[in-house]
Amino acid sequence: MSQRSCLSVILAAGEGTRMKSAMPKVLHAIAGLPMVAHVVKAAEAARATGLALVIGHGADEMRKAVQKFAPKAETFVQEKRLGTAHAVLAAREAIAKGYDDILVMFGDTPLIDAAALAAARQKLAEGAAVAVIGFRPPSPTGYGRLIEKGGRLVAIREEKDCSEAEKKIGFCNAGMMAVAGNQALRLLDKVGNNNAKGEFYLTDIVELAGADGLDVVATEASFESALGINNRAELAEAEAIWQARRRRDAMLAGVTLIAPETVYFSHDTEIGADTIVEPHVWFGPGVKIASGAKIHAFSHIEGATIASNCDVGPFARLRPGADLRQKAKVGNFCEVKQATIEEGAKVNHLTYIGDARVGAGANIGAGTITCNYDGFSKFFTDIGEGAFVGSNSALVAPVTIGKGGYIASGSVITESVPDDALAFGRARQKTLPGKGKELRERFASATAAKKRAAE
């Protein structure tokens, strides 16, 4: 089968009115990725060599989104919604190119397993003209039943048309199917619209193919894999299933999740073995973590690279561009953005490091901030190897702290500091004996006067 060409036709033209959103339904995200992109990834994993997306509502928005996750996909617009077979035929130009297999998929089934698609393709390789993907839901009520005889699929019967015996069938239509490329257009063109809605139903090709003496079979996917999304409640259910799968995969790959149900991964999270993740950690897109790191509770990480044996959190925020090198430490209530924290450097408490480099072995005291933005432009702060920045310091960029430089606590640094220099950037302390008592008495007298006036 590996040498057979395959076109995946993904139907994504539905308006998704039940989502109550101006955005096309299939662009709503699971794990930070549009659900239709999950479908594309599954098709690619099943070795589809071509992609055709049939779009409708929000066509321009869809095209822009598709360029990000499937730049080689062809897009076709279904101008009128006249049924699923009509939607597939919107991609006639792509189907006519002569692919061996045609996979028909739906953009709102983001959990579809590539193995289920490959199994349907295998049936085509073995000689079937149509392979319909079925599943067994907890309750078949509301689903079309797959009617089989002698190992062949003879019909897909909607529940309202089922006999009492057929209603007891638990094997249901998932909607997706594989069709032999040399039969696809001929079968699709034979589909009529002689039904209550006057629409062209893709499911009709099962009986049409059977009437022509072609082999039609059903394959089985898991219920979760076939789950379609129609509203935000179902979107949340799909997110939960995806997260549960990903957590299990991570743990089986050697990652310790102390409270798995509280950790949220993104679609592209990479995390190495022997990493420990404490409860309530959120990974946004673009996170790469090497082996042996420790991510403490309530940390929020996106667009960051974390090297081996780093220590992050608790309550840390790593924003896009954060780059932690080996054994770096970013502690509690710290934020790092577009900055490199080099090997063994420590940013321990209540600190903001943005647009900066913190050299190897440097120590950043509590309450330190890099003042990187003047309201118009961003500027860079360079902190050298082994430097020490005292607590409650403000480093006003652009500025350089040299190797081994020492910044006194409470300093505002506006000029670069040479290697091994000590810098103070604060006003000289002045102490006035007895002045504190005088101020307290004055303030107490003023407060008493306000109370008397109010009475």
| Residues belonging to the active site | 349
Give the β-pairing of 346-349 and 152-157: unpaired
Closest CA to 133 of 142, 161, 125, 123: 123
Coil, strand or helix at 202: helix
Question: By the 8 A CB rule, do 333 and 313 touch?
Answer: no
- Distance of CA 261 to CAs 107, 239, 340, Å? 27, 12, 31
Question: By the 8 A CB rule, do 370 and 351 touch?
Answer: no
How far apart are alpha carbons 324 and 1 in whole angstroms? 44
Contacts (Cβ under 8 Å, ≥6 apart) of 427: none
b/e for 253-290, b at 16 or more Cβ within 10 A? eebebeebebbbbbbebebbeebebbebbbbbebbebb
Coil, strand or helix at 102: strand
The reply to whether omega before 314 is within 30° of 0 (cis) is yes
Coil, strand or helix at 146: strand
Coil, strand or helix at 220: strand
